[in-house]
A and B are shown apart, each in its own frame.
Chain A
Amino acid sequence: MPFVGDHLSFTRRRFVQGVAAGSALLGLGLHAAPTRAEQLQARLGPKVLSGTRFDLTYSPLKVNFTGKERFATAINGSVPAPILRWKEGDTVTLKVTNNLAEDASIHWHGIILPSDQDGVPHVSNGFKGIRPGESFTYRFQVQQSGTYWYHSHSGFQEQTGAYGVIVIDPKEPEPFTYDRDYVVMLSDWNDEDPSRIYAKLKKLSDYYNRRERTLSDALADIDKMGWEGFLNARQMWNEMRMSDRDISDVTGYTYTFLMNGVAPADGWLGLFKRGERVRLCFVNGSAMTFFDVRIPGLKMTVVAADGQYIEPVTVDEFRMGVAETYDVIVEPSDDRAYTIFAQAIDRSGYARGTLTPDPALTAEVPEMDPAPILGHMDMGMDMGMDMGMDMGMMGHGMHGMNHGGMKMGHDMSGMQHGGMKQRLPMGSGPAGYGSKRPVVHAPTEYGPHIDMRADAARYRLDDPGIGLRDNGRRVLTYADLRNLGKTPDPREPEREIDLHLTGNMARYMWSINGVKYADAEPIHMKYGERLRINLINDTMMNHPIHLHGMWSDLETGDPDHIPRKHTVIVQPGARISYLVTADAMGGWAYHCHLLYHMAGMFRKVIVS
């Protein structure tokens, strides 16, 4: 990059790479040299706590990930927090003590439990947060197995270190085998105070975007497509006053991306013996960052999504929205080191780790892919084709899906259309296939708080997403997700709720159906009902939407094997649907899991 002074490139390099784990985790600063053993220890990630009784204590911890000392919000003196290992069927007791100067809380992400144990202040039944100096004891029976996580649901603590992984061992053996397992927790650390980040985004929403279009981009485009082509290509963006380079709100300009709490300067270390099958439990515990994960040289077999078994899919790469989890199995057969490479969606940095039979071996770190650029489809724009038909799965609508190189993963030809329709509520669609209702924008979606509406929002289940399309690798998509067992609740939905994810990027305001949380009525669900939620993304950002307390049964096109998720990515300008069985009484949080979107893009759900 011309014109970029040394000052900036140095700063950038430092943020992106961070400092060596030895000094970071031990809080020693740059100049005190840790011993080799300490260095190695610091690269192994957080420790594991197992059993049925846990004492977790919040306290400030001095850390150094970037060369600057900062205070993190640590649990048991660790960032990330300790890995909790539970067993399905056990009743766990977790005493959480708050030694911070402000209120704290812990939410057990993706865990099915009573509302009063869910840990969201003023949303979960009777829970008001944990005051400084006080403790709260959570107690519930573990009814599931797999990989989940826990984090604070108070203030911005999730950004400053209050997150950890939960692995629940199943009662019955897993439907796959492995010789050892590792947790891989991805997160985004920053030295700035999170409230300052939020304030900066409100004052200048592209503050952290250091990849805006420049004159040389324009000249290159003119060269390629001529003046007319250039003006046409720019027209929509210029009229909408939006940037096609707007991928992440907060970027590697301030973030240092961590893998198991280790900065990329040396990276997390996972050891294996040659020929072993290794299960990697990936969790995206970031505040704001989507990661694209791959291990060059290894195929990954995805065996679980959001803790739930799926039919194994072998891929080269997968995207993790904030708060999603994936379990993969790898079989490193060579006696060499491999890099676990997790690049941020906007390619402003990466987290990395090394999987190796010998700590002395190193593996090559790949170059990051080019930064993605948004297209018209990502803005939910009609591309001049018959896109009105929704899911494109019922007969003729299929044409819509074929456009742009995206085909549904499954063969629909065997479907019995006639028989199915009779069981459906008006205007809906059968379970497993998404809604057939047209996209309609509510009157509340018009005004100074909303900058776009995706009129041609389509189901894009087998679209791997911005930056991953046609990259030559086999990338996991939602269309690949099929529950390993039968659909747990095969009922047809009795009703549908449309939720539009809305906002104004420039003003940095976020809402649902144009109404922010502070002004919104709760969403009511009838206990025991089966309903469909249609999410329509009327923004240019990916939003990971998380429903507490109940599963989001994602409609990926196979009614018999509907996968269960707790967090669902809604791609920009797209729609997606899932079914919910309202089998958990009480108050539940329902929100976008991007930390700086959450305050507005949030709803309380009440099941009664």
Chain B
Amino acid sequence: MKKFKKTLLSLLSLLAMATLNPVAQAAMEDDPTLAKVMINQLEHRYTDGPDPLVLEGEAWIGKDLHKAWFKIDAARVNGKTEELEVQALYSRAVAPFWDLQVGLRQDFRPKPDQTWLALGLKGLAPYWFETDVAAFVSDEGQFVLRGQFEYELLFTQQLILSPEVTFNLYARDDKKRDIGAGLADMQAGLRLRYEFVREFAPYVGVNWNRKFGETAGLARAAGEKADDVQFVIGIRAWF
């Protein structure tokens, strides 16, 4: 696990170097090594209980058809990291609008750690749906299918409404983590952002979390809500 963290750190520092110095690489080279860091969501969610601060981001470094790709999902509540999921992937273009992504996913929080093999397809589906579908197999034998879909609706060039939905399907029960087999959870969001520039946009929106089946039952048993609508406020940025 230490090794994984180390590799991840060195890759991330490489990424930082590449993004800070784009001039040196792109001197009329057809396919320069470039890097992009995207904070898709950095938001405060208003709940009944303590409010979480949520980060959902991605970064890549590489060339037109081959990239190293990183994804991060994190939530902090009361200054404590409650959720932290990191993926390090090799991304390869397989079709005009699609990249095949393979690599590792590591869940650091909630405890205990869990390591997954990841295989995904990311790209733009017809009718402009940003799509990221991935399958994960964990060291504990769990199997997950995750789908993420996002759409953009332009009111103006700068005011953009984006609905999105994410779901997780589990192959088996995981009592340790309060997860039941089948469709476990779904998150649907609607965010309205204003792009001051392409790279920076604050937004407001709503987020609807819903747990299903066994997972919903386990949540209720633990005194949590299986169905929760939150108001969110955040920023979206990339460079």
Residues of A bordering B, CB below 8 Å: 1-5, 7-8, 102, 154-156, 193, 195-196, 198-199, 202-204, 207, 210-216, 238-241, 447-451, 504, 506-510, 516-518, 598-600
For B97, the closest partner residue in chain A by CB is A241
- Asked whether B28 is an interface residue with its Cβ less than 8 Å from the other chain, the reply is yes
| Cβ 8 A contact of A215, one of B32, B127, B155 | B155
CB within 8 Å for A193 and B155 given contacts A207-B198, A450-B96: no
- Asked whether B22 is an interface residue with its Cβ less than 8 Å from the other chain, the reply is yes
Interface centre among A196, A215, A450, A518 (most CB of B within 10 A): A215
CB within 8 Å for A238 and B36 given contacts A214-B155, A509-B64: no
Taking CB atoms and an 8 Å cut-off, the chain B residues in 75-131 that contact chain A are 93-98, 124, 126-128
Please, could you name 7 A-B residue pairs with CB atoms under 8 Å apart, sorted by A?
A: A195-B23, A199-B34, A204-B198, A211-B157, A215-B153, A510-B30, A516-B30
CB within 8 Å for A202 and B34 given contacts A449-B65, A506-B97, A599-B28: yes
Interface centre among A213, A510, A518, A599 (most CB of B within 10 A): A599
- Is the pair A193, B154 in contact by a Cβ cutoff of 8 Å? no
For A1, the closest partner residue in chain B by CB is B156
Interface class of chain B by DSSP:
loop
The 4 closest A-B pairs by CB, nearest first: A599-B30, A448-B93, A195-B26, A451-B96
A213 cross-chain contacts in B, Cβ below 8 A: 154
CB within 8 Å for A195 and B22 given contacts A211-B157, A449-B64: yes
- Is the pair A518, B30 in contact by a Cβ cutoff of 8 Å? yes
- Taken together as a complex, chains A and B put the C-alpha atoms of A517 and B34 apart, in Å, by 19
Quick one: CB contact mask for B186-222 with A, threshold 8 Å, 1 for yes?
A: 0000000010101000000000000000000000000
Interface size on B, residues (CB 8 A): 35
- Taken together as a complex, chains A and B put the C-alpha atoms of A451 and B159 apart, in Å, by 28
- Asked whether B27 is an interface residue with its Cβ less than 8 Å from the other chain, the reply is yes
- Asked whether B48 is an interface residue with its Cβ less than 8 Å from the other chain, the reply is no
For A200, the closest partner residue in chain B by CB is B198
- Is the pair B23, A3 in contact by a Cβ cutoff of 8 Å? no
Interface centre among B31, B94, B95 (most CB of A within 10 A): B31
- Taken together as a complex, chains A and B put the C-alpha atoms of A240 and B28 apart, in Å, by 29
- Is the pair A198, B26 in contact by a Cβ cutoff of 8 Å? yes
- Asked whether B7 is an interface residue with its Cβ less than 8 Å from the other chain, the reply is no
A199-B26, A238-B128 known, 18 other contacts, Cβ within 8 Å: A3-B156, A7-B196, A193-B23, A195-B28, A199-B32, A204-B198, A210-B157, A214-B157, A215-B153, A241-B128, A448-B96, A449-B64, A504-B96, A506-B97, A509-B64, A516-B30, A518-B30, A598-B28
B47 cross-chain contacts in A, Cβ below 8 A: none
- Is the pair A507, B23 in contact by a Cβ cutoff of 8 Å? no
CB within 8 Å for A195 and B159 given contacts A451-B97, A507-B64, A507-B93: no
- Asked whether B139 is an interface residue with its Cβ less than 8 Å from the other chain, the reply is no
- Is the pair A3, B158 in contact by a Cβ cutoff of 8 Å? yes
- Taken together as a complex, chains A and B put the C-alpha atoms of A210 and B65 apart, in Å, by 27
**B149 vs chain A, min Cβ distance (A):** 14
B198 cross-chain contacts in A, Cβ below 8 A: 204, 207
**A71 vs chain B, min Cβ distance (A):** 13
- Is the pair B22, A215 in contact by a Cβ cutoff of 8 Å? no
- Is the pair B157, A203 in contact by a Cβ cutoff of 8 Å? no
- Asked whether B140 is an interface residue with its Cβ less than 8 Å from the other chain, the reply is no
CB within 8 Å for A212 and B23 given contacts A204-B198, A449-B64: no
- Is the pair A203, B93 in contact by a Cβ cutoff of 8 Å? no
Interface centre among B96, B124, B126, B153 (most CB of A within 10 A): B96
For B60, the closest partner residue in chain A by CB is A203
CB within 8 Å for A203 and B158 given contacts A155-B28, A448-B65: no
For chains A and B in complex, what number of residue pairs have CB atoms within 8 angstroms? 108
- Taken together as a complex, chains A and B put the C-alpha atoms of A212 and B157 apart, in Å, by 7
| Cβ 8 A contact of B156, one of A155, A214, A517, A598 | A214
Quick one: CB contact mask for B48-69 with A, threshold 8 Å, 1 for yes?
A: 0000000000000000110000
| Cβ 8 A contact of A448, one of B26, B28, B94 | B94
For B93, the closest partner residue in chain A by CB is A448
- Taken together as a complex, chains A and B put the C-alpha atoms of A195 and B196 apart, in Å, by 23
**B17 vs chain A, min Cβ distance (A):** 14
- Taken together as a complex, chains A and B put the C-alpha atoms of A474 and B213 apart, in Å, by 69
- Taken together as a complex, chains A and B put the C-alpha atoms of A411 and B159 apart, in Å, by 53
| Cβ 8 A contact of A506, one of B30, B124, B158 | B124
- Is the pair B156, A4 in contact by a Cβ cutoff of 8 Å? yes
- Taken together as a complex, chains A and B put the C-alpha atoms of A506 and B99 apart, in Å, by 13
For B161, the closest partner residue in chain A by CB is A215
Taking CB atoms and an 8 Å cut-off, the chain B residues in 5-51 that contact chain A are 22-23, 25-32, 34, 36
- Taken together as a complex, chains A and B put the C-alpha atoms of A155 and B98 apart, in Å, by 31
- Taken together as a complex, chains A and B put the C-alpha atoms of A281 and B52 apart, in Å, by 65
- Is the pair A4, B158 in contact by a Cβ cutoff of 8 Å? yes
- Taken together as a complex, chains A and B put the C-alpha atoms of A211 and B158 apart, in Å, by 10
B32 cross-chain contacts in A, Cβ below 8 A: 198-199, 202
For A217, the closest partner residue in chain B by CB is B154
- Taken together as a complex, chains A and B put the C-alpha atoms of A118 and B158 apart, in Å, by 46
A4 cross-chain contacts in B, Cβ below 8 A: 156-158
For A508, the closest partner residue in chain B by CB is B64
A7 cross-chain contacts in B, Cβ below 8 A: 196
**B180 vs chain A, min Cβ distance (A):** 37
- Taken together as a complex, chains A and B put the C-alpha atoms of A453 and B32 apart, in Å, by 26
B29 cross-chain contacts in A, Cβ below 8 A: 599
| Cβ 8 A contact of B95, one of A1, A154, A156, A448 | A448
A198 cross-chain contacts in B, Cβ below 8 A: 26, 32
**A521 vs chain B, min Cβ distance (A):** 16
A102 cross-chain contacts in B, Cβ below 8 A: 27
A241 cross-chain contacts in B, Cβ below 8 A: 97, 124, 126, 128
**B143 vs chain A, min Cβ distance (A):** 28
**A207 vs chain B, min Cβ distance (A):** 6
| Cβ 8 A contact of B126, one of A2, A3, A239, A447 | A239
- Is the pair B158, A8 in contact by a Cβ cutoff of 8 Å? yes
- Taken together as a complex, chains A and B put the C-alpha atoms of A154 and B29 apart, in Å, by 11
- Is the pair A214, B154 in contact by a Cβ cutoff of 8 Å? yes
For A517, the closest partner residue in chain B by CB is B30
- Taken together as a complex, chains A and B put the C-alpha atoms of A65 and B154 apart, in Å, by 32
For A602, the closest partner residue in chain B by CB is B30
- Is the pair B27, A155 in contact by a Cβ cutoff of 8 Å? yes
- Taken together as a complex, chains A and B put the C-alpha atoms of A155 and B30 apart, in Å, by 11
- Taken together as a complex, chains A and B put the C-alpha atoms of A451 and B196 apart, in Å, by 30
CB within 8 Å for A196 and B158 given contacts A448-B65, A599-B30: no
